[in-house]
Amino acid sequence: MADEDIIQILLVDDHPMMRRGLRDLLAMEDDMQPIGEAGSGQEALELVTRLEPDLILMDLNMPGMDGLETLKRLRDQQVDARIIMFTVSDDHEHVLEALRNGADGYLLKDMDAEHLVEQIRLAARGKLALSPELNLVLAEAIRGRSKTTTQIKASSLTKREKDVLRHIAKGLSNKMIARKLEITEGTVKVHVKRLLNKLGMRSRTEAAVWVVENNLA
């Protein structure tokens, strides 16, 4: 399997046993590679800059800086990795706040291992990873988002930004987009950050949904 097809994952949870279980589970998959672990939100912020993971699987309830605050800071720093909240909390306000602040998924810790792996693959392909029982909450989040995103015109984007967006909608990583467009990965990262800023969005998943809604795919 080519390196660009392997999902590099950062695990963020304040419980060492949970991190170990997740690491062992994901390491068994040919297309997944746990590349780091953080026991706190602050540690996660530091590791993301150094490791540049494709996906972050993060607990919600952590002492000090919790998962939601960490999520906000990561998006404020324009980290474009997929971020999945992985928690015991099914509180609808937590779900909505996570999605509104750029989470690419919200999964409950009581799900079985096989389903967790499937959802991580979905998120890596640019889809929303969500525990089935939270679908109604998702519908509410989409209604709230559409009021703002429909005001954004596709004409404000450059041709290159549209090209990058289409590939994001297909779930391609920055490495794969760079290969498709024959530009450097660093250039792709710059385009992604700029177009997310221009669209007023906080995640690749939100941008991918917008592409479909505006018939740009």
**Of 122, 143, 164, which one is at a domain's C-terminal end?**
143
**CATH no. for residue 172?**
1.10.10.10
- What range defines the domain where residue 175 resides? 152-213
Q: How many domains does the chain have?
A: 2
Same domain, 96 and 157: no
Task: Name beta bridge partners: 130.
Answer: 106
Same domain, 126 and 185: no
Same domain, 19 and 126: yes
Q: What is the pTM of this model?
A: 0.77
**Of 90, 116, 143, which one is at a domain's C-terminal end?**
143
Same domain, 129 and 42: yes
Same domain, 158 and 185: yes
Same domain, 67 and 170: no
Question: pLDDT, tens digit, for every residue of 35-44?
Answer: 999 999 999 9
Same domain, 35 and 111: yes
Same domain, 123 and 189: no
Say what the pLDDT of residue 12 is.
Answer: 98
**Of 116, 143, 170, which one is at a domain's C-terminal end?**
143
**pLDDT (tens digit, 0 to 9) for every residue of the chain, 217 residues total?**
556 679 999 999 999 999 999 999 999 999 999 999 999 999 999 999 999 999 999 999 999 999 999 999 999 888 889 999 999 988 888 888 888 888 989 999 999 999 999 999 988 887 888 887 776 666 555 555 544 444 456 777 889 998 998 888 887 888 889 999 999 988 998 898 888 888 888 788 778 777 877 777 6
Helices (H) and strands (E) in the chain, counts: 10, 6
Amino acid 173 reads S
Rounded-to-integer distance, Cα 3 and Cα 32, Å: 10
How much of the chain, in percent, has pLDDT values that exceed 90? 49
Same domain, 109 and 163: no
H/E stretch holding 35 reads strand 32-38
Same domain, 12 and 94: yes
Q: Is 38 left (phi over 0), alpha (psi -120 to 50) or beta?
A: beta
Same domain, 46 and 24: yes
Q: How far is CA 36 from CA 10, 78, 90, 156, 191, in A?
A: 5, 20, 26, 38, 26
Same domain, 98 and 165: no
Contact 37, 11 (CB under 8 A): yes
**CATH no. for residue 137?**
3.40.50.2300
Beta-carbon count within 10 A of 67 CB: 26
